[in-house]
Structure 1
């Protein structure tokens, strides 16, 4: 059991508190002093029982200078350790802390995978075993400053290393060097990293492309909803950018400087999803960490949690999430202590939640709690009026990432993009254009460079807006037919012959719909 004492900072108060447990025959295994003015004491008493605490608590609160005693789930050092562990685990690059003998003191999971050992086996390993031609401690002493981009070869792969020296004293002389933190970046992925940095130059709503009037209308709604501190439900097909929209709403809110954490509820076993979201207490189950684990909710305190594919959440988790939405409280797995947090919840789904509620697959009360604010992201096939600038935007990204000159789309390639049904939506478009930019050796991307699988082919009138007058509906059908056939019959004469009309009629229709350039 862990106890927190809010108390006066006076000489001897710790002795007075510990003496009560000694008189009662309870061992104090560990203690810490915290608070802004040393006015908080934490004690770890592994053998203390609830009944004993009930007896001792009135006695402890009678000690001069003790203002309150309560149970806590973690000591401050344990919380710092868990937060650091969660941070390091989230990094995809290998990160290691080494001492001045060249031994690894701590490392993240990616470093363990790189070295071919379990993460708990990494501490104590010598880097000489993996870098026999590099004396890293000597390099650290010689430079005594941050080193960026040191090229080295480890386990048959080339890395660029960033090395940050650690000092035991405030001064930065060589005598106080205690080691260094080494971060390794795969050299063959540096282009991708630069690309990711470029993608982050624009953040929030500015990073969302709004060429289509329909998508622009959704983003206008999202801008109005973002500052409202209430649950938000985002609906839309896979690949439409629901998480990007959620991040934009977070950044535009009063919580924008606080953490944003995401959890995909699909494909996770119930037990794993529960511990990821809510965390677990020390020794909660066999194989659990002795110090327990913080869940994403606690790591997001004050910020926003994004729950993707919330329709896949198990009934048990639905109950816990509903409770959290009602009063902000929950219990970690294996704990009987209540934790209360201030976190905004944004959810996303591609399922019809009302239909799931009717079938009994989703709690109706939870649906209404989540659906305080709602947005529906349209599929790409309904936003094809903005596909040309969107395609050029993705091509520019791809060219920067690959490191090649920016290619342009031929009229035939653009017509093929405009005539495709895009089951994977914007994500699929970005991937298709990245592949096309990789395959194209010249300056123009032709229709043949576009790898568009014939999956998820739409049927009948799916995706056609039936709200307008008949002339507009027929015009949209005509545009889609011409866009679909033009890549196979790339001239007005060929297409006119295929459709049984004059080439002049086809030329005029192609021009009207903007499907092909001048022939």
Structure 2
């Protein structure tokens, strides 16, 4: 059991506290001093039982200078270890720490896999075993400054190494050198890394394309909602850029410099989704880490958590998320300690959460908590008036990544794209144009370069009979649109507002096609 003592910083207080455990024959395995002014003592007492704590607590709180005693799930050093472990594990590049004798001190999982050992086998390994022709400690002493892009050969692979020296205390002379942190970048992936950096630059509102009036209106709404510290629900089909919009809202808020974490709720088993989001306590279940695990919520403290496909969340997780939205508190899996955090929640879904909540498949109270602010991202086929500048942007980006000359976009290719229904939306457009740039050898992208699958007819023309006069075809399309939208906007006034026309026009058309008459009779 781990205990936190809120206490006065005085000589001998730790001795006075520990003496009570000794009287009960309990061993204190570890102790730490914390708090801003050393006003907290943490003790790890492995064999302490709840009943014993209930008896001991009044005695401990009677010790002069002790103001309160409570259980905690982690010691401060354990929390720092977990945070560092989570940070290192999230890095795909090998990262290792070495001392000035050329021995490895620690490494992340990517580095241990490269070295061919387990993470717990890393400490003490000699670098000479892997880099016999390079004396890294001597290089660190000679430069006593950061080294970037050092080409090294390790286990039959070539890397560019970034070496950051570590100094004891605040000195920066050679005598205070304690070692270095080495980050390895694969030469084969340098181009990919540059492209990923470029992609990260395109994540604010300034970089979002608004050539289409629909997108301009969306970005205008999002800019107004971004600074508001309330839950935000983003709806839209797959590939429309819901996460891009969520990141832009995060960056435009007062939390912009704090972490942004994302979790896709679709396809994750309930237990895995729960531990990823909320973390778990030490020894929470068989196979759990002995020190426990921090969840994404704790790693996002002060920032924004993005929950994609929230409609796929299990009922149990819906309940935990609802409680967090209500009071900011939750419990890690296997823990009875309450944790309170300040995190903004942004959710996204391609499902109709209102219908799911009405049918009992999604909690109504959670839906209303999430739907405080809402944004609906239009499908690409609804923004075809902004197709050309968006396409040229993706062509420019693809040509930079591939390293080829910027090709032109023929009018025939543009027309082909404008007449396609884009089931995969913006994501599909980017992938199609990347492939087109790689296939183009003539300097101009033609329709033959666009690999557009014909599977899946445009929704508006599915099963539509095209024989007859234009007025009859248009009337059938009009009837289908009104029939599809009326259940979501079940009155002529709501539907008129949705479609941007007058109430009288919609009322007449509903009457003409016999739509909604059963509702109006009720």
Please tell me the TM-score bracket, short chain as reference.
Answer: 0.7 to 0.9
Give the secondary structure class of the aligned counterpart of 2:219: helix
Deviation of 1:397 after TM superposition, in Å, equals 1.5
Partner of 1:419 in structure 2? Answer: 419
RMSD after superposition: 2.2
Aligned equivalents of 1:126 and 1:388: distance in 2? 57
Deviation of 1:236 after TM superposition, in Å, equals 0.7
Alpha-carbon contact 2:203-2:244 (below 8 Å) kept? no
Q: Is 2:79 the counterpart of 1:79?
A: yes
Aligned equivalents of 1:391 and 1:356: distance in 2? 35
The 1:356–1:117 alpha-carbon spacing in structure 2 relative to 1, beyond 3 Å, is farther
Q: Which moved more, 1:102-111 or 1:263-272?
A: 102-111
Q: Is 2:239 the counterpart of 1:239?
A: yes
Aligned equivalents of 2:133 and 2:412: distance in 1? 55
TM-score by length of 2: 0.85
Deviation of 1:110 after TM superposition, in Å, equals 1.9
Aligned equivalents of 1:229 and 1:400: distance in 2? 38
Which deviations, in whole Å up to 9, do the C-alpha atoms of 1:87-140 show, x marking residues without a partner? 111112111112233332211122233334443343343333333332323322
Alpha-carbon contact 1:167-1:176 (below 8 Å) kept? yes
Partner of 1:172 in structure 2? Answer: 172
Aligned equivalents of 2:237 and 2:115: distance in 1? 40
Aligned equivalents of 1:155 and 1:391: distance in 2? 42
Alpha-carbon contact 2:212-2:386 (below 8 Å) kept? yes
Partner of 2:150 in structure 1? Answer: 150
Which deviations, in whole Å up to 9, do the C-alpha atoms of 1:163-208 show, x marking residues without a partner? 1112234323333322211111121222222223233345421121
Alpha-carbon contact 1:395-1:406 (below 8 Å) kept? yes
Partner of 2:19 in structure 1? Answer: 19
Aligned equivalents of 1:103 and 1:450: distance in 2? 54
Partner of 2:253 in structure 1? Answer: 253
Which deviations, in whole Å up to 9, do the C-alpha atoms of 1:33-86 show, x marking residues without a partner? 112221111111111112222222222222222222221111111111111111
Deviation of 1:356 after TM superposition, in Å, equals 2.3
The 1:49–1:359 alpha-carbon spacing in structure 2 relative to 1, beyond 3 Å, is same
Q: Which moved more, 1:441-450 or 1:143-152?
A: 441-450
TM-score by length of 1: 0.86
Aligned equivalents of 1:248 and 1:113: distance in 2? 35
Alpha-carbon contact 1:423-1:455 (below 8 Å) kept? no
Partner of 1:485 in structure 2? Answer: none
Deviating runs (4+, > 4 A) in structure 1?
A: none
Give the secondary structure class of the aligned counterpart of 1:339: strand
Give the gaps of 5 or more residues in structure 1.
465-469, 478-519
Deviation of 1:376 after TM superposition, in Å, equals 0.8
Aligned equivalents of 2:441 and 2:186: distance in 1? 26
Counterpart mapping for 1:48-447 below 5 A = 48-447=48-447
Deviation of 1:396 after TM superposition, in Å, equals 1.7
| Aligned positions, number | 469
Aligned equivalents of 2:384 and 2:132: distance in 1? 57
Aligned equivalents of 1:474 and 1:451: distance in 2? 30
Give the gaps of 5 or more residues in structure 2.
465-469, 478-522
Deviation of 1:265 after TM superposition, in Å, equals 0.8
Partner of 2:2 in structure 1? Answer: 2
Give the secondary structure class of the aligned counterpart of 2:206: helix
Deviation of 1:288 after TM superposition, in Å, equals 0.9
Give the secondary structure class of the aligned counterpart of 1:222: helix
Deviation of 1:225 after TM superposition, in Å, equals 1.2
Aligned equivalents of 1:290 and 1:426: distance in 2? 44
Partner of 1:507 in structure 2? Answer: none
Give the secondary structure class of the aligned counterpart of 1:200: helix
